[in-house]
Amino acid sequence: MIIVEFEVDSPILRETRRAVPGTTITLEAEQAPDGTDGDSHDSIHLLFWASGGDFDDFESALAADPTVTSPRLLADADGSRLYRVLYTDEGMRWTAHREWVDLDATLLHAEAVEDGWAVRMRFPDRESVVEFKSWFDERDLPFETNSLYTEGASGPELGPQLTDAQREALLLAWERGYFEVPRETDLLGLAAELGLSDSAVSQRLRRGVTSSPW
């Protein structure tokens, strides 16, 4: 079995994530409705935990998000809330749920990040990983593999690897003197050139330095 850790840009809950960036969203499960609530079998339920931030603002953003509908609060414990939503037609365009189910893959963890989702999944073999990635490639959704390794192995077989986005951020930081002492630029300057937020640049630099073979 192969474990893959990757980041993917996805429209799912994008507007909600942008409206309430202080809220952490962690996926619990994706599943087909059983029909007991009258929901269509053609859609998919998304269950996730939300924590941090203002829940009133979060629920308002969730209600207006074009990728989901019928939000329902299932649990409220220790400052976190468990929600269940149903994908809209727009959401169904962008979920890879049926693809990974067909490939006999298993979702182990998924958490919303500024640029999309950070995900860890288990696949039966490398061929299924390639096929899964091709689903995103066909839809022009950026897919960055951070690590790939055999389950139970003592260490990664492939990675963590330096992605194109991380390489771009590192090279720009190097050219602008970010690593000099004293620094000749800051995260805000790099963010302006890359068209990203300073927190996104910080995340790419941190992961890039960790992944880099330098």
Percentage of the chain lying above the pLDDT 90 cut: 44
Report for 31-45, 62-76, 115-129, 192-206: range of highest mean pLDDT: 62-76
Is 152 found in the same domain as 175? Answer: no
Higher-confidence residue: 80 or 179? 80
pLDDT averaged over the chain? 84
Task: Supply the pLDDT for residue 32.
Answer: 77
Q: Are residues 199 and 150 in the same domain?
A: no
Same structural domain, 103 and 179: no
Same structural domain for residues 51 and 130? yes
Q: What's the confidence (pLDDT) of residue 42?
A: 67
| Beta strands 106-113 and 2-8, pairing class | unpaired
Last residue of a domain, one of 123, 140, 160: 160
In this structure, the answer to whether residues 57 and 97 fall within a common structural domain is yes
The Cα 189–Cα 115 span in angstroms is 19
Per the structure, the count of domains in the chain is 2
Confidence of residue 159 (pLDDT cuts 50, 70, 90): very low
pLDDT of 121 > 60? The answer is yes
Residue 89 pLDDT > 90: yes
- Residue 210: per-residue pLDDT: 59
Question: If you average pLDDT over residues 120-126, what whole number do you get?
Answer: 92
Same domain, 113 and 200: no
Which 8-state DSSP code applies to residue 158? Answer: B
Rounded distance between C-alpha atoms, residue 122 and residue 149, angstroms: 10
Is there a single domain that holds both residue 75 and residue 95? yes
DSSP 34: -
Domain end among 141, 160, 179: 160
Query: 142 and 199 in one domain?
Result: no
Q: What pLDDT sits at residue 213?
A: 44
Return the pLDDT at 161.
58
Judgement on whether residues 67 and 136 belong to the same structural domain of the protein = yes
pLDDT tops 50 at residue 88: yes
Flag whether pLDDT at 35 surpasses 50.
yes
Looking at the fold, whether 107 and 192 belong to one and the same domain comes out as no
Q: Distance between CA 116 and CA 119 in Å, rounded? A: 10
Torsion (CA) 197, 202, 207, 212 in degrees, nearest 10 = 110
Do 172 and 185 share a domain, yes or no? yes
Same domain for 89 and 9: yes
Q: Which residue range forms the structural domain that includes residue 35?
A: 1-160
